[in-house]
Structure 1
Amino acid sequence: MPMDVAFCLKMECLPLLPPSPLKSPSLQHQPIAPAPTRIRSSSLKPLAAQQRRSSLSIRTSKSTTTLTPTTTPAALPPKKKVLVPIGFGTEEMEAVILVGVLRRAGADVLVASVESQLEIEASSGTRLVADTCISTCSNDIFDLIALPGGMPGSARLRDCEILRKITCKQAEEKRLYGAICAAPAVTLQPWGLLKRKQTTCHPAFMDKLPTFWAVKSNNQVSGELTTSRGPGTAFEFALSLVEQLFGESTAKEVEGTLLFHAHEDNPRKEEFNKIEWSVDHIPHVLIPVANGTEEIEVVTVVDILRRAKADVVIASVEKSVQIVGSQDTRIVADKTIDSVADSIYDLIILPGGFAGAERLHKSKVLKKLLREQKLSGRIYGSICSSQAVLQKQGLIEDKRATAHPSVVGKLTSQVVDSAGVVIDGKLITSRGLATATDFALAIVSKLFGHARARSVAEGLVFDYPSN
């Protein structure tokens, strides 16, 4: 038996099998082998202090001697330590956005499973692998504990006694803690951690909050407690936590790398050569992934398309179905790319991440699938840096497209820099992390209609245009 699993079986937390998912009218979610070498794209890690050497001159009547003592580098401040617990039914967008944004800021983020195993299936079916199990965290001190929401994920966190003790101690000692979506009402409220705290949560759970202290803001900071409403407010939630941990300048720097608010004064979407995308069956969607793929983009697109009732397959181009994203989140794909080589998909979407995009480009099977996709007149697209993959394979010539600013200059297509999402016929492209939700909702609107996209956006608590 693997060591991590054997260890986890000793925990006093929860039974193996997850309970039946709880139903909520606004949260429509019916229905990771050792990690490879770290691939990290963040440029915001704390910088090491420069070494300084000094010379000491001692003068005597006989001679002058210069001593150059060996000096040690100035000590780095300890990293901010963050705990993000997950369980069966955790909302994947919230968990992965929290982890990705905080790691970009330089935090040492520990993802801990409250289950008796490290791999969990999130609320929309994405499988995530935790770094450790919660029983290993009992004696640790964290600068921040941040709880993702989702159902039944929030209830699984609530029922974990070890996590309850850790979080209550965090609150008692006046260290930062936070929760999003269902977690404030379903997890923190029964633990007594919302007393005299202004709190927000997902609209479907507002009635479970103390009426006098409940607020409808997207993000609410009340002393050491920060709460937020849902997947659509997860970036705002994570950036608020970054600011509290590291300061405003770091938060602004991370915000820039996310392209957050980069084009808020411009249209979210522009469309050219408009044609219908509708199909007479449940749309089949392929999302290929690789080590170094941007995990936030993967889970956002997958989560939203599955909420809209599309049939989505995550396929790994690696030898293993488990991949490690650009910010070290481990995701278990549904299949390998070889196993889908003979399948036909209505839509193929390439997520970004610079290292991941390079590995996608090297996949012969994926090249074949993309070539056939274009020749057959089916839909395809990409986000962030993966437009470079389409460019190298001649799939965006004579098309209007957008991309991550670092890739735009390499495109030979007509670049549209005024919108976060660009559609040209059966090609859809988007700029990056903070535009991933608009990107996915644009796909939903094209495949299912605007009303379906509006309904999904409402469940996310995401501000979406009425027309």
Structure 2
Amino acid sequence: KCPVLRLGPLLIISFPSVRPKKRKKNINLMAAMAALRPLHWPQLRPPGQRPATTPPAAAGATTWRRMAKATTSLAPGAPTPSLPKKKVLVPIGMGTEEMEAVILVDVLRRAGADVVVASVETGLEVVASSGTKLVADASIGACASEMFDLVALPGGMPGAARLRDCEILRKIMCKQVEDKRLYGAICAAPAVVLQPWGLLRSKHMTCHPAFMDKLPNFRVVKSNIQVSGELTTSRGPGTAFEFALTLVQQLFGSSVSEEIGGKLLLQSDNNLPRKQEFNTSEWVFHRIPRVLVPIASGSEEMEVVMVVDILRRAKVDVVVASVEKSTKIVASQNTKIIADKSISAAAESIYDLIILPGGVAGAERLHKSRVLRKLLKEQKSEGRVYGAMCSSPTVLQKQGLLTNEKVTAHPGVIGKLTGQVVEGAGVIIDGKLITSKGLGTVMDFSLAIVSKLFGHPRARSVAEGIVFEYTKN
């Protein structure tokens, strides 16, 4: 037996003297020890801290649903400090689908990505497919020499065709594919942009149902999300949240994707109603309904764009009005939007419905607008419809516009409401008042308005066009 001396982590073994066999050299103990691989001791961690793990590759679009019941916050999700900054390019052009572009940008920025919105037009200002005016961060030419971790193409027509015809963007995307870096496309973009550029070879893909026949039948699938190597494709505005979260998962890992998904308030529990109505009242107009959507710096851009886009698809006359000195505002995730007019100019008309978008800073600036305050007061006193999303129900409460009505709001501010708060459903209608939790519930909110104005058939038709599952209840 060998005597053993243990000194902390050091183990010393004393070997007995052994006569070597004939024709064999003595063992060089020092050389043998030098040949041994170094011993790696586990790094000490504070009690209860889990070891770091490498996030798995994207395996689907539904992992974020497990976080839907998590504690939510109005503040954007901060990236993990140890994660490197990821650079993302989102190109836009005249006719780009605004919901797809803005949801992509908003969600990726919440995850911590450095997102550049680049215009393929001669100027930075772009009029999107439903008339929303967006301002890009840079021209596509300024991005030609940059390297991106992800290039994601929004759809919309003729926006997708404008992207396809941009030679600089084609070269950027081809280099992206050649270097095996992430790229994605949604709605019309897989068929209208990637297919003509030859960037779908040996890939499985999906796209908007109206463009499925332009893709190879043997490789096209009808799923909301399709991941094929470095390529991720999706179907339309109604699947844009899933698309964006899948890209977040690929860039930052499942934990970040699930955290952001939980904060977006996406519907995950099928046992809960998506909307509830109390004190049913008819919203019937014998003309095209006029809707006012006031915005401010700090307004939540996803909410603004979704409600405006969906209502305009339903043939509603929507006016976007800025309460700032300029018609150009910078939204909560730094998306730049140009309103149709100032709130003072908008106040010259009467509206059938006034809708307040959320965003903490934006809601506070809406509350400070004297012109808007007067409009809202008249709206209620005249028995016309009004509504609010996310943090903006607190604006209605501060102005004395909530009495006995049942309401909901973002979980981060719902405790500030003193009235009859209804939790569970994402959308609450009480007579001539409609409120929602905001963010991921805004498509339901917008379609509920369409249903009240025109009936379920038109709401269902609009939902089908954006590839969104519509239910009456």
Give the shorter-chain TM-score range. Answer: 0.7 to 0.9
Partner of 2:263: 257
Letter of the aligned partner of 1:361 in structure 2? H
Structure 1 residue 345 corresponds to structure 2 residue 345: no
Is the 8 Å Cα contact of residues 355 and 388 (structure 2) preserved in structure 1? yes
Partner of 1:318: 324
Q: Aligned residues, how many?
A: 401
Partner of 2:194: 188
Is the 8 Å Cα contact of residues 267 and 441 (structure 2) preserved in structure 1? no
Aligned match for 2:336, one of 330, 335, 341: 330
Aligned match for 1:393, one of 399, 420, 428: 399
Partner of 2:314: 308
Query: TM-score if structure 2 supplies the norm length?
Result: 0.83
Partner of 1:70: none
Is the 8 Å Cα contact of residues 378 and 426 (structure 1) preserved in structure 2? yes
Alpha-carbon shift at residue 439 of structure 1 (Å) = 0.2
| RMSD, matched Cα | 1.2
Identity of aligned residues (%): 71
Cα separation, 2, equivalents of 1:118 and 1:339: 25
Provide, for residues 239-279 of structure 1, a one-character-per-residue CA deviation record: whole Å limited to 9, x for no partner: 00000000000001101111123554300110000010010
Letter of the aligned partner of 1:139 in structure 2? S
Provide, for residues 59-99 of structure 1, a one-character-per-residue CA deviation record: whole Å limited to 9, x for no partner: xxxxxxxxxxxxxxxxx653100000000000000000000
Cα separation, 1, equivalents of 2:469 and 2:262: 20
Cα separation, 2, equivalents of 1:262 and 1:193: 34
Question: What is the correspondence of 1:41-52 to structure 2 with a 5 Å cutoff?
Answer: 42-48=75-81
Letter of the aligned partner of 1:413 in structure 2? G
Is the 8 Å Cα contact of residues 263 and 420 (structure 1) preserved in structure 2? no
Is the 8 Å Cα contact of residues 74 and 412 (structure 2) preserved in structure 1? no
Is the 8 Å Cα contact of residues 225 and 232 (structure 2) preserved in structure 1? yes
Matched position secondary structure for 2:218: helix
Provide, for residues 387-408 of structure 1, a one-character-per-residue CA deviation record: whole Å limited to 9, x for no partner: 0000101112100011000111
Matched position secondary structure for 2:465: helix
Alpha-carbon shift at residue 441 of structure 1 (Å) = 0.1
Provide, for residues 368-415 of structure 1, a one-character-per-residue CA deviation record: whole Å limited to 9, x for no partner: 000000000000000000000001011121000110001111112211
Question: What is the correspondence of 1:193-204 to structure 2 with a 5 Å cutoff?
Answer: 193-204=199-210
Structure 1 residue 439 corresponds to structure 2 residue 472: no
Structure 1 residue 360 corresponds to structure 2 residue 393: no
Structure 1 residue 379 corresponds to structure 2 residue 361: no
Partner of 2:424: 418
Structure 1 residue 154 corresponds to structure 2 residue 160: yes
Relative to structure 1, the CA distance from residue 214 to residue 335 in structure 2 (aligned partners, 3 Å threshold; closer, same or farther) is same
Cα separation, 1, equivalents of 2:268 and 2:112: 22
Give the stretch that moved more between structures: 84-93 or 394-403. Answer: 394-403
Matched position secondary structure for 1:319: coil
Letter of the aligned partner of 1:200 in structure 2? T
Cα separation, 2, equivalents of 1:90 and 1:437: 19
Cα separation, 2, equivalents of 1:268 and 1:77: 36
Partner of 1:267: 273
Aligned match for 1:209, one of 205, 210, 215: 215
Alpha-carbon shift at residue 229 of structure 1 (Å) = 0.2
Cα separation, 2, equivalents of 1:303 and 1:462: 14
Structure 1 residue 102 corresponds to structure 2 residue 108: yes
Cα separation, 2, equivalents of 1:191 and 1:200: 16
Partner of 2:465: 459
Structure 1 residue 179 corresponds to structure 2 residue 212: no
Is the 8 Å Cα contact of residues 284 and 346 (structure 1) preserved in structure 2? yes
Cα separation, 2, equivalents of 1:283 and 1:263: 33
Provide, for residues 397-453 of structure 1, a one-character-per-residue CA deviation record: whole Å limited to 9, x for no partner: 100011000111111221110201000000000001000000000000000111000
Cα separation, 2, equivalents of 1:466 and 1:368: 34
Is the 8 Å Cα contact of residues 41 and 326 (structure 1) preserved in structure 2? no
Matched position secondary structure for 1:462: coil
Cα separation, 1, equivalents of 2:419 and 2:212: 47
Partner of 1:125: 131
Relative to structure 1, the CA distance from residue 329 to residue 344 in structure 2 (aligned partners, 3 Å threshold; closer, same or farther) is same
Cα separation, 2, equivalents of 1:203 and 1:256: 28
Is the 8 Å Cα contact of residues 256 and 262 (structure 1) preserved in structure 2? no
Alpha-carbon shift at residue 47 of structure 1 (Å) = 4.8
Matched position secondary structure for 1:463: coil
Partner of 1:450: 456
Alpha-carbon shift at residue 458 of structure 1 (Å) = 0.4
Cα separation, 2, equivalents of 1:136 and 1:264: 46
Structure index of larger Rg = 2
Query: TM-score if structure 1 supplies the norm length?
Result: 0.84
Q: Show structure 1 runs of 5+ residues with no match.
A: 1-39, 49-75
Q: Show structure 2 runs of 5+ residues with no match.
A: 1-72
